[in-house]
């Protein structure tokens, strides 16, 4: 019999595995930072937060960014989200349309 603690550890391990698979697929699809074109050390970024279970592993919810565009520059996805969304407005709108078409209610 598995204890609750062991089950929690296994669940977290499975989430980590799925997150890594998702990130690899996003980076393989994009091949470069969608903002600046950098091709080295890419990060996969969730356009809608990964805490939203309905969209966490949707390939369309991911976008490849270099470390600077992801976190480190003043204008980056994490330091200046408004700037980021202005850069990828079309992708975000397309994702939102897909989510609505599938009937997912992410704005609860």
Find where tokens 């600077």 sit: 68
Determine the pLDDT at residue 105.
59
The dihedral of CA 87, 89, 95, 99: what is its sign? positive
Residues with pLDDT less than 70, the chain: 100, 103-108
Give me the pLDDT at residue 106, please: 55
Q: 10-19 in b/e burial notation, b at 16+ Cβ within 10 A? A: eeeeeeeeee
Quote the pTM value: 0.79
Tokens of 34: 């969608």
Look at residue 48 in the predicted model and tell me its pLDDT: 84
Domain ranges for the chain, please list them. 18-101
Residue 86: which of 69, 107, 104, 108 has the closest Cα? 69
Residue 86 CA to residue 22 CA, distance in Å, equals: 24
């Amino acid at each position: 019999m598995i204890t609750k603690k062991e089950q929690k550890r296994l669940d977290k391990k499975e989430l980590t595995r799925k997150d890594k698979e998702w990130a690899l697929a996003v980076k393989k699809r994009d091949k470069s930072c969608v903002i600046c074109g950098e091709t080295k050390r890419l990060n996969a970024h969730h356009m809608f937060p990964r805490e939203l279970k309905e969209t966490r592993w949707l390939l369309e919810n991911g976008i490849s960014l270099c470390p600077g565009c992801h976190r480190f520059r003043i204008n980056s996805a994490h330091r200046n989200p408004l700037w980021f969304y202005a850069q990828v407005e079309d992708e975000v709108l397309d994702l939102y349309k897909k989510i609505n078409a599938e009937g997912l209610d992410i704005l609860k």
